[in-house]
Structure 1
């Protein structure tokens, strides 16, 4: 493995590196063995996102107008250069400087750079997103230029991101932020320090520097109210064995003290939800004779957001019991395991060994084994970020091959540690 910072012998060498890389860091240290230089090299050894160089030649100090020891970030965006005085500092100071200065003030959010956006989100908790369709001739050509003055004003406190709606890999972002393709450009603000909150202006479809500035200032001064997605409630929402929930009726149905309510939170695009959907329908048929005490329901959690409802993946199953406790189902998604879970946590004890139960089990065995317990990541309700939302969009399309196997062990009604998930009551919704 090579040195963490490449020594620079000439200006031609450094200029060639600047032409090759969008961003690089150069340590100017007259004494390469000084404490300041050693700290720089340790930081360089820990960061692998861009190259590091080391200058000790006094002539290069003069040529690049560096008087004292310093770390200089050269970049092909924003102001092109940023200097960090390095005479007396600690590693964290330099790390914070590099994090701030090596990321564009206005950046395109896409699948290729989502990891870096996610990394930035650990430090900057407020994200300002501009959705636009780059292939639409009606879209202003210089949206980045319109946003840049506001990004400069709020550097280090707000992360400004552009989302191209022509990139179909990002369609989950449109869904999550409630953006309509025929009403762009559209601005959204996302804050995820603690519970996640989304904010939007009164109207979509136009953008100017003044509008960006006003929207951002209104958010920072507390003038905006967070919004949550909500579908209209169908008139026949309770006609089928599996009831339809939206944000409008979720609390009313799940908080009913006379019914156990078993809910499936799903995403229409999630292949695992599509596999388990027919099994859940058959489960509802099994419990129809007990509809006076138990209700099965599903909600499209990509189009409906309920305050206080947090979950990490699709599909997610919650049982709201009549004793006020909420239990999460984490077993394999077979008819038999669903019944065993409901037998344990409800007052209904269904005999799955009956003839009717055996018929349903035979119908679903192959499908449930194929489903296996895979999930599509969601990270909904809290602790997420825009990078994760974009990443989830890609994960949904490829069925999230890295998801954990929820069918292992005897985890029905338990968290990963095996403890019953009873910490959240109906009152906490």
Structure 2
């Protein structure tokens, strides 16, 4: 499988080099297989679907891509590819693996179009296997069709920060389309409200929790080592409904004790 992907990536890069003008630094996707390989090549990618270079939004797209150099970007004018991704007019699209989502900015329907607006569109929708929470990414997280968030509360700069981010980032692909993994920096003052929602303080971290947008309920992994196995069991218990039943039973017991 990996060998097939490598050959596919080599193929689309080769076709891109053949199609790209000498002064262009952006890949040109020439067919459906090249587009599919490009989309599969990273957690998040963007494609500018422009019928012709220099169309409405083209310069703004190039400027935004230049500003966010870490976000893989390509261009495509091939209508067969457009049809495959349900594109019918000049559009900037972002594709992400974490929730298997395609988000479109239809340029003809965008009232105010500038490079800053395109950068914001990229940033809001830059949802990865583990996404760092802030005021901008929160918009994309809460707009996603995946409504369950596995939250890693950890203080940035602590000895736990990088190892836990790497550990949970590796686990996240197992829950594609089921959970979004979100990192919340406990040292960031703007995140105090998120910690408070779980009755946590920076001194309590690191901790792991689950937030369900549908029910607006939370669950905390009991204190202890944050191992891959414990987090995986925590996630699986939620998805199986076990955590929900435990919370309901605990609530019923508390209610009966008051009566």
TM-score for both structures, normalised by structure 2: 0.54
Identify unmatched segments of 5+ residues in structure 2: 1-18, 28-61, 105-121
Pair 1:150–1:226, CA change in 2 (3 A): farther
Pair 1:36–1:226, CA change in 2 (3 A): same
How much is the aligned-residue C-alpha RMSD, in angstroms?
4.1
Bigger fraction of residues in helix: 2
Pair 1:206–1:183, CA change in 2 (3 A): farther
1:179 alignment partner in structure 2: 200
Contact 1:190 1:199 in 2 (8 A): yes
1:119 alignment partner in structure 2: 143
Contact 2:155 2:161 in 1 (8 A): no
Give the drift of 1:11: 8.3
Cα distance in 2 for partners of 1:9, 1:198 equals 52
Give the drift of 1:199: 1.2
Cα distance in 2 for partners of 1:197, 1:147 equals 22
Give the drift of 1:219: 1.3
SS in 1 for 2:196: helix
Give the drift of 1:186: 0.6
1:13 alignment partner in structure 2: 25
C-alpha distance after superposition, 1:87-107 (max 9, x if no partner) = xxxxxx8549xx9x9521100
- Of 163, 166, 174, 1:142 maps to 163
1:367 alignment partner in structure 2: none
- Of 70, 89, 92, 1:42 maps to 89
- Of 74, 81, 106, 1:26 maps to 74
Give the drift of 1:170: 0.9
Pair 1:13–1:117, CA change in 2 (3 A): same
Pair 1:147–1:159, CA change in 2 (3 A): same
Give the drift of 1:160: 0.5
- In our comparison, the structure showing a higher alpha carbon Rg is 1
- Of 180, 185, 188, 1:159 maps to 180
Contact 2:127 2:137 in 1 (8 A): no
Cα distance in 1 for partners of 2:90, 2:71 equals 16
Give the drift of 1:171: 0.5
Pair 1:41–1:22, CA change in 2 (3 A): farther
C-alpha distance after superposition, 1:149-174 (max 9, x if no partner) = 32100111101100001001110111
Alignment map for 1:12-411 (pairs within 5 Å): 13-14=25-26, 17=65, 20-28=68-76, 31-32=78-79, 36=83, 39-40=86-87, 42=89, 44=91, 95=103, 103-120=127-144, 123-137=145-159, 139-193=160-214, 195-203=215-223, 205-224=224-243, 225-226=246-247
Pair 1:37–1:171, CA change in 2 (3 A): same
Cα distance in 2 for partners of 1:22, 1:143 equals 22
Cα distance in 2 for partners of 1:162, 1:155 equals 16
